[in-house]
Amino acid sequence: MQKPLDQRRFIWIIDDADKIVHVNDDWLVFAQENTAPQLTASVVLDQHIWRFIQGQETSYLYRQIFRRVRAGKSPVTFPFRCDSPDCRRFMEMELALLPGDAIQFTAHMLREEWRDPVDLLDAPRDRSGEFLKICSWCKKINIPGQGWGEIETAIAALDLFGHHPMPRMTHTICDSCRGALRLELPQESGEQLNSD
Ligand SMILES: [Zn+2]
């Protein structure tokens, strides 16, 4: 079922040293709504953004994107998913250069769909020692032998609800998002991404 469109704009700004220097009120409210109540202004402001980006490949890609934005290729826009356990959120991010090599991130909702709650995305839950690869950009999960699929498919295919506690997730990038970002970042296409 589709939810009414959330019209808010979630904005944060990093300075030339990648420190978070501004988050808007909508961003803070969104964090509170999304099992990230620890992300208050006093926690995020003046911190390096890298503290909040999980996964080696994801960090690598953000570094490439920042480099591109700061080289004047701005704005850079890409779709991403920011799912909660009971909702698929299709969002879009725009990165734009500000004076002094600062970068403004603006995220907004494209659409949201309710779903049956998926415990795997419930942040406070304990994890076992196992790792599942999740794409940081589209939130698909790598199902061994089957490739990248939606989280519900992974739960069924891997019998994840039969596992207690749930496996941990390691953040990486799936093949189609890697391809899409390569199109956004043509001058970096010769560099190799770590395969994690
Ligand atoms: Zn992906």
**Residue extents of the structural domains in the chain:** 9-188
Residue 119 has which token pair?
Answer: 């415990």
CATH architecture type of domain 9-188: 2-Layer Sandwich (3.30)
Over 60: is that where the pLDDT of 10 sits? Answer: yes
For residue 167, how far is its CA from the centre of ligand 1 (angstroms)?
Answer: 19
For residue 142, how far is its CA from the centre of ligand 1 (angstroms)?
Answer: 10
Token pair 């879009």 is found at: 92
- Tell me how far the alpha carbon of residue 33 is from its chain's centroid: 16
Write down the pTM of the prediction: 0.72
For residue 146, how far is its CA from the centre of ligand 1 (angstroms)?
Answer: 15
pLDDT tens per residue, range 73-119: 888 888 888 888 888 898 988 999 999 999 999 999 999 988 888 76
Residue 123: what pLDDT?
58
Residue 61: what pLDDT?
78
Average pLDDT over residues 58-70: 85
Residue 102: what pLDDT?
98
Residue 127 has which token pair?
Answer: 């994890």
Q: What is the full DSSP assignment across 41-109?
A: HHHHTTSBGGGG--SHHHHHHHHHHHHHHHTT---EEEEEE--BTTEEEEEEEEEEEEGGGEEEEEEEE
Over 50: is that where the pLDDT of 193 sits? Answer: no
Average pLDDT over residues 165-194: 70
What percent of the chain has pLDDT above 90? 30
For residue 179, how far is its CA from the centre of ligand 1 (angstroms)?
Answer: 9
User: Which of the two residues, 188 and 155, has the higher pLDDT score?
Assistant: 155
For residue 121, how far is its CA from the centre of ligand 1 (angstroms)?
Answer: 16
For residue 138, how far is its CA from the centre of ligand 1 (angstroms)?
Answer: 4
Residue 194: what pLDDT?
44
User: Which of the two residues, 166 and 106, has the higher pLDDT score?
Assistant: 106
Over 80: is that where the pLDDT of 26 sits? Answer: yes
For residue 133, how far is its CA from the centre of ligand 1 (angstroms)?
Answer: 11
